[in-house]
Amino acid sequence: RLSFIRHCRNLDMTLDEIRTLLRFKDHPEADCGGVNDLLDEHIGHVSQRIRELRLLERQLKALRARCTAVDDTADHCGILNELSRPDVLPVRRPDVAQGPHHVPGSHGRQPRAAAR
């Protein structure tokens, strides 16, 4: 049972998701359609997080490109100046959990290892 839970956690499943899967595991006669639905939803959250991370990467690369001189002083730093502009706001990720099957870390949540 602990091995099962560990495998689920390694796949970034929430405790609620794991509890649901354990209920199915404890009732082997139950239809496993709910297991498929849960996993499909989890995959959707992971896919969304991947899209968000790709956007974040593009934003960071664009910000990094603002630095044109390695030996310049901080008051001329393109990165610091860009981050200081009030009119430039990065695209934000949704920070609100999207239901009981939400993937931890998928929308800016603290990673498991750091939460312990």
pLDDT range class, residue 109, cuts 50, 70, 90: very low
Q: How confident is the model at residue 94 (pLDDT cuts 50, 70, 90)?
A: low
Instruction: State residue 40's pLDDT score.
Output: 97
* pTM of the predicted structure, to 2 decimals: 0.64
Per-residue confidence band for 88, with pLDDT thresholds at 50, 70 and 90: low
* Cβ-based burial of 45 (10 A; exposed 0-12, middle 13-18, buried ≥19): buried
Tens digit of each residue's pLDDT (9 = 90 or more) over 31-83: 999 999 999 999 999 999 999 999 999 999 999 888 877 777 888 888 888 88
The fold for domain 2-115 equals: Multidrug-efflux Transporter Regulator; Chain: A; Domain 2 (1.10.1660)
